[in-house]
């Protein structure tokens, strides 16, 4: 039985800004792109959230919902340094640390000798160290696997700790709404609800075979999650599977030539990025991403060797899928080989 801790910093970028400038603590604050340049909100503090401001929201909409919102561009170098300090705290307790982002990580403390082997006490100490040394708050979840630990950390946000012991797993998961499971968005949840499936308990009434037959890959995932099962190990050294670049356009475009002009400027940047990971001939595929004015999106991806000119065909197919919708964002992506296939070359693209 594993002992997994999930640490999730509270409104991380905004929290760092409030720590460094206390005058921002009581005002609605967001980090993101300019509202007059089609920027989006990266994160916001809890004061702003009371106005309905959320991450990934267009900055212009955020300003309409919250006119007094203080919008800052962010200081990524500072956030990266704080993230490095966070990791140093984590490593005091275990070498098995899997960062998910600058402000979030899994820790496997199954064999850690600290705190008498108590994962709960370790999580409490980590949160205390973050508060004392960095002046920030973190929420933590403790559970027998990664899936449950992440759910647990959401239970007491912000600045809380929640523990799911093995004996409580079944009851905790039973009443869990399916929409709370990682990987299930609003549309997928609506699809499940249209079939009369609202909670994990509802899905348990179906056999594994029926779930897979009716929902495909989604059903395969559900067969384990609805019982609280997750065998994924904490990966201290995660292998990056893809490299991408993208840009939000200053105004929507419809014309294929205009889109290609944008992609042509992105291709050299993409090639510089993947060149740090592996030779072009070892790439596993390439694709383009289009986000429309209504914020729906599509990705056209093809396996095979890399050819820059192939992006033109992928763009043409993507625009056919768009069916005349204006394009607000364009992106490129390539698939990287496994670590073994590139002879353990570094994937550090910073």
Q: How far apart are the C-alpha atoms of 191 and 174, rounded to whole Å? A: 20
Strand arrangement of the beta sheet that strand 138-143 belongs to: 97-101, 104-108, 4-9, 138-143, 161-163
> From the centroid of its chain, how far is CA 255?
32
Residue 348, annotated as binding a ligand? no
Q: Are 305 and 281 in contact (CB under 8 A)?
A: yes
Ordered alpha helix ranges (H), the chain: 12-20, 46-49, 59-65, 76-90, 119-129, 146-153, 169-174, 186-194, 200-204, 208-215, 217-225, 256-275, 310-322
Distance CA(73)–CA(31), nearest Å, equals 6
Distance CA 30, CA 69 (A): 7
| 28 Cβ contact partners less than 8 Å away, ≥ 6 residues apart | 44, 45, 47, 48, 50, 51, 53, 66, 68, 69, 70
Give the contacts of 157 (CB within 8 A, at least 6 positions apart).
8, 10, 139
- Residue 330 near residue 249, CB atoms below 8 Å: yes
Catalytic residues: 104
Q: How far apart (Å, rounded) are the C-alpha atoms in residues 243 and 21? A: 35
Is 103 annotated as contributing to ligand binding? yes
φ, ψ of residue 301 to 5 degrees: the values are -130, 140
Binding residues, as ranges, are: 8, 103
Binding residues for Mg(2+), as ranges, are: 8, 103
């Amino acid at each position: 039985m594993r002992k997994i801790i999930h640490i999730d910093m509270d409104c991380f970028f905004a929290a760092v800004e409030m720590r460094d400038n206390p005058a921002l603590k009581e005002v609605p604050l967001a980090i993101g792109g300019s509202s007059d340049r089609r920027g989006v909100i990266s994160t916001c503090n809890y004061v702003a959230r009371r106005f309905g401001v959320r991450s990934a929201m267009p900055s212009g909409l955020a300003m309409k919902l919250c006119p007094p919102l203080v919008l800052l561009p962010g200081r990524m170098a500072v956030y990266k340094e704080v993230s490095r300090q966070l990791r140093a705290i984590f490593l005091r307790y275990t070498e098995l640390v899997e960062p998910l982002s600058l402000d979030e990580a899994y820790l496997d403390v199954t064999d850690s000798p600290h705190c008498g082997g108590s994962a709960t006490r370790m999580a409490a100490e980590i949160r205390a160290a973050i508060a004392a040394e960095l002046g920030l708050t973190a929420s933590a979840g403790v559970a027998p696997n990664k899936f449950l630990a992440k759910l647990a950390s959401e239970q007491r946000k912000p600045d809380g700790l929640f523990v799911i012991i093995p004996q409580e797993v079944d009851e905790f998961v039973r009443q869990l709404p399916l929409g709370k499971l990682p990987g299930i968005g609003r549309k997928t949840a609506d699809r499940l609800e249209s079939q009369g499936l609202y909670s994990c308990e509802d899905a348990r009434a179906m056999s594994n075979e029926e779930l897979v037959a009716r929902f495909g890959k989604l059903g395969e995932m559900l067969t384990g999650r609805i019982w609280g099962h997750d065998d994924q190990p904490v990966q201290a050294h995660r292998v990056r599977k893809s490299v991408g670049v993208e840009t939000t356009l200053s105004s929507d475009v419809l014309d294929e030539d205009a889109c290609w002009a944008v992609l042509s400027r992105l291709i050299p940047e993409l090639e510089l990025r993947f060149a740090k990971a592996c030779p072009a001939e070892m790439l596993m595929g390439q694709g383009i991403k289009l986000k429309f004015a209504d914020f729906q999106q599509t990705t056209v991806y093809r396996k095979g060797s890399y050819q820059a000119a192939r992006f033109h065909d992928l763009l043409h197919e993507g625009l056919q899928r768009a069916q005349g919708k204006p394009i607000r964002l364009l992106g490129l992506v390539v698939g990287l080989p496994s670590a073994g296939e590139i002879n353990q070359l570094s994937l550090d693209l910073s």
